[in-house]
Each structure stands twice: as C-alpha cells, then as structure tokens.
C-alpha cells in the first residue's frame, strides 16, 4: 500500500513530482464523460515513463490472439479498446529548449483532480538546463454536457527571463497500444487538414473500419487579452500542428485555450465526420472556456445530488468513496445501449477495455439505485442484443438447440478472451447475466421486461446449463466437471460449489419466470415458444430434474460448502502465515505453485453466499466466511467489497471497515501494485455496495426497501441516496439512529431494523434500533 496522494474529501492531490509514481498518477487522475476519456498525460512533452492513453467509447480492434497452439472453439482475436489520437498535445519550447519535466528541474509541482466540479488542474514551476524558469497552470476536462468534446486552458509565465516561447498545439494519430502484438499500429489515415487556428485528423481502424475525426480549435491570450494568431502549419503522417512563436517578457502570461472533439462513425456516417466535428467545435468555442467550466460544474452538481455518499469524521474513507463514484460516473452514463463498462474504463488498456461479468455482478446495483431504471435497463439490453452471438459461442463449443454461453470478454458479443481455462471453463459468467435480470426486476418491479426480453435470455442460458452438466452413475446425481470458478487461482476443477449453485438457481428462476410470463401475457409467451422452438414440457422437466439431483460439494465435519472437490487435500496454510515478501502471489509465484496452493484470488463460495444470502442461515454464512476469508489473498479488485458486505451482515464491523477501506482506496493507494495499468472501474461499484449494502444493510425484500445499518467506529455518521420506484431517499446513519428523508413527490413504505414505516412525500422519519 502506498500513501502518495494527499487526503482531501473532494480532491485527489499530488504535491511534488515523483517520476516513479507518474504512471500511477496518470491512472488516478484520468478523465472521461462516457463517450471519450483519457489518462492524465501531460500536455507538453514528457520523455520519462508514461503510458499514453486517449480512448473513444466502442472503438476497438480485433488483435490476433498470439499463441503457438489452437483449440476448437478458441477465440480468433482479443478485442482491444484502442489508444486513439492524442488531442491534448501542446509542445512548448523556451528558446531552443523543450519544456519536458523529465529533463527540467521541477521546482514545484501540484496536480489536483477536482471531483466535485469535474476537472483536472496542474501547476508547476520548472527550470531548464540554461536556468530559465517558467510557471505553468493547466486546467482540462471532458465535457459532460457536450460529450464529444474536451477543453484545455494552458497558461505559461516566464519567471526570470524575456525571450521567445514557441507553443505548438497538435493532434497526433500516429500512436500505439502498449500491448500491441509485434508493435503493430491499428490506425490508417483517411484525411487531415490544418489552418491558422484549427485542424483535424480523420483515422480509420484496420479490420473493423471504425472512423474517428479528431479536431481542434484554439485561441491565444496575453495577460488576458486576445492575440491575433499567426501560426506555421505543420503536417506529417496522421499528425497536424500549428506552431506559434511569441516574444514575451518575464511576468507576462500566455494562455492557450484548446477546444477538441472526437466524433465517431458509430454515431454518424463516415463522410459526415469532418462536418460534424466542425459543428461541435463551433458550438463549444462559441461558449468559451468559462461557460463550459460552469456547465461542467452544474452537470457534476446534478450527479452528486443523486449519488453522493457523505462520511463524517473519516476523510480517507470519504475521499475513497467519492473517487470511486466519480470514476463510475465518467465511465458510463447509460445513454447508449451499445456501450458497456470495461474493467479499466478510460484509464488504461489492460483487459482490452472490454465487457466482463463484472458489469452484471457489481455495476448493475449501483446504476439501479443512482441513475434510474433506463440506465440499468440499457445494460441488460446490451446483453439481450448479443444473445444471437452468445448462442453462436455455445455452438463453437459443441452445444446445440439454442443454448447460449455469453462471452467472458467481449466488445460486440463475440468471445475474445485468450486463455483457455477462462474461455472454456469460467462459465459461471452465464449465471451473472441471469442474476442481473433478476436483480433488475426485483429492484424496479419492471416485470414486463421478462416478457419482452428477459425470458428469452433465461431459457437460452438454462439450455446451456442443461447440456453442460454430467450425470454421474457413481453418485446418482448431476455433476459439473472441468470448470473455473470466480477464484481464478484454480482451473479445471470439478464441482465448483458456486458454479453449481448459480447454475441450479438459473434453472429455478427460469421455471419461475416461465410461469409469470404465461400468466401475464400468454400471446407473448406463445410467440417466444415458436421463435426459439422451446419444447416446454420436455425442457422444463429436464430443468426440474437437474434442480432436484444436483451434487454440491460439502464437508460434513467442518459444516462448510467446499469450493470444489479435493479442496481440503491442499496444504492449509493461511494467508497470515505467508511472508509479505511473497505477495502479491501473481507477481511472485509461478502459476503451477499458485494452482497447487490453497489461496483464493477473490470471493468464490462467498460470492454465492452474497448473491443468495436468503437461502442460508446466519451460522452457515459465518462458518463459511470464517473458513474462506483467511485463505483469500484479495488479488482481484472484486474481492474486498463482497467480504465487506458479508462481514457487515455478520456484525463484524471492524473487518467490514478494513475491507471497505481497501476497496475504496484500492487505486489511490495502489494496494495491488497495478494501478499504473489503469484504475479498477467495475470494482468501484463494489465500493458503493460496501457502504449501501454493507454498512447501510440495504436489501429489497418482497418489493420493499429494507435497511439494517451499522455505523463503523471510525465514523461519526454516514449518508447515502438511492432512488427506488419513483421515490428518492436520503438515508443518514448516526449514533442517534437512522433518519430517512423522502425528497420526492411519491410516498414510500420501507423497513428499518425490521420495522415497517411509511415515509410520505417530502417528509423525514427518524428510527432507532
């Protein structure tokens, strides 16, 4: 764990510049608006260690899977979200010396992410080799209002000299991905142009043919007064720039305001991109920097109004949760059902930026409660629209009759994960897709979704499970062979308890939904039966038989569910007995050693107990928690949040707090030594769950919101806001009890500590345990 950034409730602050932390800082200070985003690279040149990153949502490349062998059903490519044209670039020369913090002496440095108003600010003072000193201030953001646009205000002031400064704003499309096979470049130039104060580069991706026009327009001021721009246009392959030479005296400031846009062929015909980019540039430059900044602040104020969490008395915990919520809001807005939430969002390239089961298991609850039904529904529709490809994926593995296996990793519904033990075996992901449908309907009450979309997905998933299990003559039960559970430090195991549990639950839920849809809309049900050739009697009978005869691994002596067959054959050395120098295991141990060990990467059995807690008594949950948590190394970002929620349920407030702090500050403090690759965006939704479902004890039961709060000793109070079926609630937990304000015009009945209470519209109640 590193404690590099200053603690502030509304800001992330880097005081002083340490090049060793630069790539971590680039991740943490990343910006986005749901449509585009970028790492916190410097505008001016930097020849030190850096990971360049600018990203446009939905644009990807099918990079050839680089392996020396092949298997039937193996994905042909790994989808990568591409590093797109660098629009933030502003080269600065002081006489004949380039401003480069890797070569200059950095006299002072401060970088600040203002999460309240949504912008990144950097101030520094640097001295060149010849002794010339400059002060620089930069402010930039990706607009939440004009989501194809960003803006930079770059001010430079000579401190101890008079002379020439050359400023060159540019767009550079000649970029690479860090993880490119054979250093391949993925963009071809379509066209480009540069004029006195504006220009563009239009690029096309190889293979996929996405086109993106990146355009800029800029103004220059001296001491606050506009200057007539006289620039020297520069063009190279995939690159345009405008060089501006200025004579300046010490103490005088030069400000370059750079407006930029990214427009994509996903949203407009390719032939119209140049015109569209010019139109957007005209709009945002006419507004000007001050208006754009005010709009940005207002947009973020509206977001915080609906999803802020306030923690009183613990600034580190407060900073952590706000950072997580901030990153979630700038990664996905829910406006486009073609988009989803990559594990790294707009903060890095790792995992290809593609969609995983993280969305359904962790992100859906956050967006359900903070962004409304439409946003969460769009996440479900994303999967519904890819059902045909999920069926195709299953066919490649030998399944038939409309069985669907959703991909472990995808951009468009096609499986593109390049590790066989994940692609073929981590099939529990299918269960997360089904659980998200259940979770959505449970929270919103939107049962019509089942008739129109949900049941079709559920039947296809259940058909997969019905074919994936094996009848064991020895046991006279169905077994689940050759799988990988959520704990990816085990591969190719038999009877992973979580996988078998969620598969059986899927079958039960599908049968339940069949009954509901038949009753609600017989016509729609009959249309679906015909569409998918559903043999109701035969297939439902098979589902029911599997449910009644599924084998679940269990140890009678310990009275715990076994993660998989043979788990207790492993040497049972607990995590606390591991030398700190040997962690994280994934960076210190061979894969063979990890697979033979008892250690768990993330919640596995406990993931099932979290999802299906109502099926188990508290003692069962406690026994399993106390057994598995000491064997868990939490080397997945998705692990601490589940443990925090379960610890809170068990009343273990101290462990719940420690896991909360770890999940909330995972990237800020670089717990897993991997933040330089990008932030863990999807697990950030788990941080929100740790507070709301963990300490807030929020659940939906029988159509009612229920709360069973706990207050960590380190906090004076905490509060959060949730929307539920038209009502907007502010829940505050303190030593005095629980107060709930209904700030909407709709009354709502809730349960607090098992006490039912009606909260009328625009009123507040106070309850004690």
Active site residues: 488
3-state secondary structure of 200: strand
**Given the structure tokens 């609850």, which residue do they identify?**
365
Rounded CA-CA distance 452/457 in Å is 10
Rounded CA-CA distance 714/695 in Å is 12
**Given the structure tokens 């929100």, which residue do they identify?**
688
CB contact set of 327 (below 8 Å; sequence gap of 6+) = 30, 345, 347, 679, 681, 684
Q: What is the DSSP string of 708-732?
A: -----TT-SEEEEEEEETTEEEEEE
Based on DSSP, count helices (H) and strands (E) in the chain, helices before strands.
21, 33
Query: What DSSP character marks residue 76?
Result: S
Rg (CA), the chain: 27
Query: What DSSP character marks residue 270?
Result: G
Helices 455-468 & 429-444 angle (0-180, nearest 10): 150
CA trace torsion 376, 377, 381, 383 (10° rounding): 40
Nearest to 258 by CA among 171, 144, 152, 167: 152
Beta bridge partners of 141: 151
Q: How far is CA 489 from CA 178, 431, 485, 583, in A?
A: 26, 20, 9, 14
Q: Are 501 and 612 in contact (CB under 8 A)?
A: yes
**Given the structure tokens 């993925």, which residue do they identify?**
186
CB-count burial class (<10 Å; 0-12, 13-18, 19+) for 48: middle
Rounded CA-CA distance 497/363 in Å is 24
Beta carbons within 10 angstroms of residue 510's beta carbon: 25
With b for 16 or more beta-carbon neighbours within 10 A and e for fewer, the 163-178 pattern comes to eebbbbbbbbbebebe
CA trace torsion 667, 343, 338, 146 (10° rounding): 20
Nearest to 749 by CA among 727, 730, 718: 727
Instruction: Answer left, alpha or beta for residue 717, where phi above 0 means left and psi between -120 and 50 means alpha.
Output: beta
Q: How far is CA 276 from CA 142, 203, 241, 261, 430, in A?
A: 18, 15, 20, 10, 40
For 665-700, give the secondary structure using H, E and C.
CCCCCCCCCCHHHCCCHHHHHHHHHHHHHHHCCCEE
């Amino acid at each position: 764990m590193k404690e590099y950034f200053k603690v502030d409730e509304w800001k992330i602050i880097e005081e002083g510049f340490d090049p060793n932390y630069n790539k971590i800082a680039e991740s943490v200070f990343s910006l986005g608006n749901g449509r585009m985003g970028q790492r916190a690279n410097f505008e001016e040149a930097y020849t030190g260690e850096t990971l360049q990153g600018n990203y446009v949502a939905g644009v990807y490349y099918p990079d050839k899977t680089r392996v020396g062998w092949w298997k039937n059903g193996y994905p042909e490519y790994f989808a990568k979200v591409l590093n797109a044209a660098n629009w933030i670039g502003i080269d600065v020369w002081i006489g004949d010396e380039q401003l480069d913090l890797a070569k200059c002496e950095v006299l002072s440095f401060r970088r600040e992410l203002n999460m309240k108003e949504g912008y990144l600010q950097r101030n520094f003072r640097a001295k060149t080799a010849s002794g010339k000193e400059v002060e620089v201030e930069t402010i930039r953001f990706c607009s939440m209002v004009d989501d194809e646009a960003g803006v930079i205000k770059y001010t430079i002031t000579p401190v101890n000299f008079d002379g020439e400064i050359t400023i060159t704003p540019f767009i550079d499309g000649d970029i690479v991905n860090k993880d490119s096979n054979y250093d391949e470049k993925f963009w071809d130039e379509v066209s480009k142009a540069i004029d006195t104060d504006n220009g563009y580069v239009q690029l096309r991706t190889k293979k996929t043919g996405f086109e993106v026009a990146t355009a800029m327009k800029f103004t220059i001021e001296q001491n606050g007064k506009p200057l007539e721009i006289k620039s020297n246009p520069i063009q190279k392959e995939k690159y345009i720039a405008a060089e501006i030479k200025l004579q300046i005296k010490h103490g005088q400031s030069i400000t370059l305001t750079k407006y930029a846009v990214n427009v994509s062929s996903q949203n407009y015909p390719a032939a119209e991109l140049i015109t569209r980019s010019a139109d957007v540039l005209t709009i945002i430059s006419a507004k000007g920097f001050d208006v754009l900044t005010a709009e940005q602040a207002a947009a973020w104020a509206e977001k915080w109004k609906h999803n802020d969490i306030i923690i009183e008395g613990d600034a580190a915990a407060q900073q952590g949760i706000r950072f997580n919520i901030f990153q979630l809001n700038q990664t996905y807005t829910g406006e486009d059902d073609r988009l989803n939430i990559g594990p790294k969002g707009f903060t890095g390239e790792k995992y290809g930026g593609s969609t995983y089961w993280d969305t359904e298991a962790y992100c859906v609850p956050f967006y359900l409660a903070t962004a409304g039904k439409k946003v969460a529904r769009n996440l479900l529709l994303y999967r519904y629209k890819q059902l045909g490809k999920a069926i195709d994926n299953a066919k490649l593995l030998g399944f038939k009759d409309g069985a669907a296996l959703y991909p472990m990793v995808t951009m468009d519904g096609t499986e593109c994960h390049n590790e066989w033990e994940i692609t073929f075996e981590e099939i529990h992901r299918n269960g997360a897709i089904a659980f998200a449908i259940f979770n959505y309907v449970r929270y919103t009450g939107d049962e019509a979704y089942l008739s129109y979309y949900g049941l079709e997905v559920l039947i296809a998933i259940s058909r997969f499970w019905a074919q994936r299990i094996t009848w064991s003559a020895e046991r006279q039960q169905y077994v689940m062979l050759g799988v990988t559970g959520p704990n990816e430090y085990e591969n190719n195991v038999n009877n992973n308890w979580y996988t078998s549990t969620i598969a059986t639950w899927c079958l039960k839920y599908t049968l339940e939904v069949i009954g509901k849809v038949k009753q609600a809309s017989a016509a729609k049900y009959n249309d679906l039966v015909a569409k998918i050739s559903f043999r109701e009697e035969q297939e439902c009978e098979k589902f029911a038989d599997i449910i009644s005869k599924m084998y679940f691994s269990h140890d009678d002596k310990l009275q715990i569910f076994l993660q998989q067959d043979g788990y207790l054959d492993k040497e049972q050395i607990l995590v606390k007995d591991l030398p700190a120098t040997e962690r994280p295991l994934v960076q210190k141990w061979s894969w063979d050693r990890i697979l033979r060990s008892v250690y768990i990467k993330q919640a596995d059995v406990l993931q099932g107990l979290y999802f299906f807690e109502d099926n188990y008594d508290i003692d069962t949950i406690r026994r399993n928690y106390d057994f598995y948590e000491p064997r868990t190394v939490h080397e997945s970002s998705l692990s601490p949040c589940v443990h925090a929620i379960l610890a809170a349920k068990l009343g273990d407030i101290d462990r719940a707090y420690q896991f909360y702090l770890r999940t909330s500050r995972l990237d800020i403090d670089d717990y897993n030594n991997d933040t330089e690759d990008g932030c863990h965006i999807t697990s950030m939704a788990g941080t929100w769950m740790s507070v709301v479902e963990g300490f807030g004890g929020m659940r939906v039961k029988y159509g009612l919101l229920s709360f069973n709060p706990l207050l960590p000793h380190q906090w004076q109070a905490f509060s959060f806001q949730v929307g539920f079926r038209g009502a907007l609630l502010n829940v505050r937990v303190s030593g005095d009890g629980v107060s709930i304000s209904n700030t909407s015009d709709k009354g709502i009945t809730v349960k607090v500590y098992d006490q039912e209470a009606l909260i009328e519209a625009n009123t507040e109640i106070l309850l004690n345990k």
